[in-house]
A and B are shown apart, each in its own frame.
Chain A
Amino acid sequence: MTAIPAAAGAASLNVARIFASAHFALRRIAGPAIVLVLWQLASTRGWLDPRFVPSPLTVLHALDEWMFGPKGANPYSGTWFAHAGNSAYRVVVGFLMAAVAGVIIGSLIGWFRLVSDIVDPVIQVLRPIPITAWVPFAVIFFGIRDGSAFFLIALGAFFPIVVNTAAGVAGTPKLLVRAARMLGIRPYMLLPRVVLPAAMPFIFTGLRLGIGLAWVLVIVAEMMAVKSGLGFAMWDAYYFLRLDIIIAAMLSVGALGFLSDLVIRLIGRRFLRWSRGL
């Protein structure tokens, strides 16, 4: 007597869940869809001059050719993966350098008063300088190649990571340090077993800000200091007034940036399972 209503209940619960998630997805897609429809409408009706603002369908066509077109059909045809791969490679390398340096130096600043007093003022003065101001030095030191991009990306992504890590480490609850010492922690284990885990939410915030900046800076670096990648393609397309390619490149960066942020969020979710509900 109880089994049947329970099964029916479970089934209706499943249906309800599917509806709920479809509803949720629909709400999330609605905004971009409305923008696209309005944009396409404005193009077809001739409200937008196609020489300056290509229509979504033109952009889609350009992206398709850029990605899958035969090589040599035009300067862009079939070159997307090479450009995107170059940009992604630079982002990954630059970001990893920033992450390693930022977490290590941030931990030292957060934990040792002396390091904080000496290093922190340097960072606070350098931090507000736009990374673009470093481009001439990057080119002089590293030339027109990957090194420049690594340098600019690593430098830009370093700041949010170091500042957030330092704040998280410095904010380790004193009580937890006491508890760990009372439980007999070996002094050199305090950092890995107590301080870094306690700072983890801050560190992941820094990493997410850092990866976002890395994508901004890879485009800047490729426009000014490197001759390949999505940023370079964008700048090149500007000379030939291929605005459809520029928009396709912008959307590509947006999508890749979103994906890399998603990866960090998923890793973070594993690490920060404990902090949900805090």
Chain B
Amino acid sequence: MSGFASGQKRPQRDRRIVVRGLRKRFMDIARQEEVVALDGIDLDIGDDEFLTVLGPSGCGKTTLLNIIASFENATGGEVRLDGEIVRKPGPDRGVVFQEYALFPWLTVRQNIEFGLRERRMPRAERRECVQRQIATVGLSGFEQRYPHELSGGMRQRVALARVLVNNPKILLMDEPFAALDAQTRSMMQQELLGVWSAERRTAIFITHNIEEAVLLGDRVVVMTARPGRIKEIVAIELARPRDVTSAEFNQTRRRIASLLEDEVHAAFAAARGEGSPVQ
């Protein structure tokens, strides 16, 4: 393999994102106590890998994503993208937010164009890129609409197109389908998989939905309740497209559910009993 033979300093192709010893502490003003959101996260994400992150609420999944996106600073440790430590947000890490975060004063086309305009791409070329992306996510005919005129599923397609058009090295998604109804959600999952397998892109996808994690992920990272650590990383060996009704799928799902169950209980107990010693 050429990667071995050439002793070059380039990072190995199969490790795009490398997270080492990541910690995040912050002061909870209301409770007057220090909260450890992340406590020593080590994680490698391979090229073209679809990684899903699963954990009880408050376990620091979003914090992890925000640090990779550089929206927040870590208290310790580092995140490398292709060997470079990440320092500030940029189009190389496209983020899809649960709340869409579209610019309401821009049309669908203008929203998708946003990043290209900032990079001063010439108008004609920009148009072409945007048009292609619009077709890819199935938004043709809606170019002139404003976000408030679209359904939740449509808005999330715009949000996806808005980052894909920048050709990001990695796609970061923070429970992007959590606000959608079950049907739309399932459709969006299929479309996301379609786009992902067509363009092969590295992706981190945060969710609290076990089925979603197993359906989408090459590997599922199960996190512990606060302080957030990685409890286990489960490789999903099921062939794609995956059948959520198959016995194998349910077996995997059950296994991950049992991993998660203890943590959900721990999170509940922590939320209920914190501060008052139980005797």
Please give the residue numbers on chain A whose beta carbons come within 8 Å of chain B beta carbons, in ascending order: 173, 175-176, 178-186, 189, 193-194, 197-198, 200, 273-278
Contacts and interface: CB of A to CB of B under 8 A. Distances in A.
Given A184-B115, A274-B146, 15 more contacts: A175-B97, A178-B101, A179-B95, A181-B90, A182-B69, A182-B90, A183-B91, A183-B114, A184-B90, A184-B119, A185-B114, A274-B106, A274-B148, A276-B148, A278-B104
B93 A182 contact: yes
B115 A183 contact: yes
Contacts of A176: 101, 103
A173 B91 CA distance: 20
B105 A178 contact: no
Contact of A182 (B89, B104, B106): B89
Contacts, number: 68
B166 A183 contact: yes
A63 B26 CA distance: 71
B163 interface: yes
B226 interface: no
25 contacts: A175-B99, A176-B101, A178-B71, A178-B101, A179-B95, A179-B101, A179-B102, A179-B103, A180-B103, A181-B88, A182-B90, A182-B93, A182-B94, A182-B95, A182-B163, A183-B91, A183-B162, A184-B90, A184-B118, A185-B114, A186-B118, A197-B103, A274-B104, A274-B106, A276-B148
Interface SS of chain B: helix, strand, loop or mixed? loop
A142 B36 CA distance: 63
B105 A198 contact: yes
A275 B89 contact: no
Nearest to B159: A179
Nearest to B93: A182
Contacts of B147: 274
A182 B115 CA distance: 9
Contact of A277 (B71, B90, B148): B148
A189 B120 CA distance: 12
Given A182-B89, A182-B90, A194 B95 contact: no
Interface in B46-77: 69, 71
Contacts of B69: 182
A180 B163 CA distance: 11
Nearest to B149: A277
The 6 closest A-B pairs by CB, nearest first: A183-B115, A184-B91, A179-B101, A181-B89, A274-B105, A197-B105
Contacts of A181: 71, 88-90
